[in-house]
Amino acid sequence: MLLYKRYRYTFVYRYTKVYRLCLLALESISLYRHSPNMELTDTDKRKCPSSLSKPECTRMLLPVQDALDLLSGKWKLQIILSLTFGKKRFKQMQREIPGLSPKMLSKELKELEVNQLLERRVYDSLPVTVEYELTAYGKTLKPLIGELHKWGAKHRKRIIAGGK
Whether the predicted pLDDT of 3 surpasses 50: no
Whether the predicted pLDDT of 4 surpasses 50: no
Residues 6+ apart with CB under 8 A from 125: none
Q: What is the mean pLDDT of residues 128-148?
A: 93
Residue 44: predicted pLDDT: 52
H-type alpha helices, the chain: 5-14, 17-28, 54-71, 76-83, 90-96, 102-114, 136-139, 142-160
Specify the higher pLDDT residue, 51 or 86. Answer: 86
C-alpha–C-alpha distance, residues 72 and 70, integer Å: 6
Least confident window among 26-35, 71-80, 88-97, 129-138: 26-35
Q: What is the mean pLDDT of residues 141-158?
A: 92
Backbone angles phi, psi at 124, to 5 degrees: -80, 90
Residue 26 CB coordination number (10 Å): 15
Residue 119: predicted pLDDT: 96
Q: Which of the listed ranges 6-20, 25-39, 45-59, 81-95 does the model predict with the highest average pLDDT? A: 81-95
- Classified by CATH at the fold level, domain 76-139 comes out as Arc Repressor Mutant, subunit A (1.10.10)
Residue 52: predicted pLDDT: 75
